[in-house]
Amino acid sequence: MDTVVTLSSADPSRVPVPATVTIPAGSQSATVSVPLGTFTITKFVRITATKPGSSLYRTLKIAP
CA distance 6 to 47: 10
- Look up the pTM and report it: 0.83
**Cβ neighbour number for residue 5 with a 10 Å cutoff:** 20
Digit-coded pLDDT (tens) for 4-37: 999 999 999 888 999 999 999 999 999 998 887 7
Digit-coded pLDDT (tens) for 34-43: 887 778 899 9
- Measure CA 29 to chain center: 12
In this predicted structure, what is the pLDDT of residue 36?
79
Task: Give how many domains the chain has, as a whole number.
Answer: 1
Asked if residue 44 lies in contact with residue 60, where contact means CB atoms within 8 angstroms, the answer is yes
The domain containing residue 26 runs over which residues? 3-62
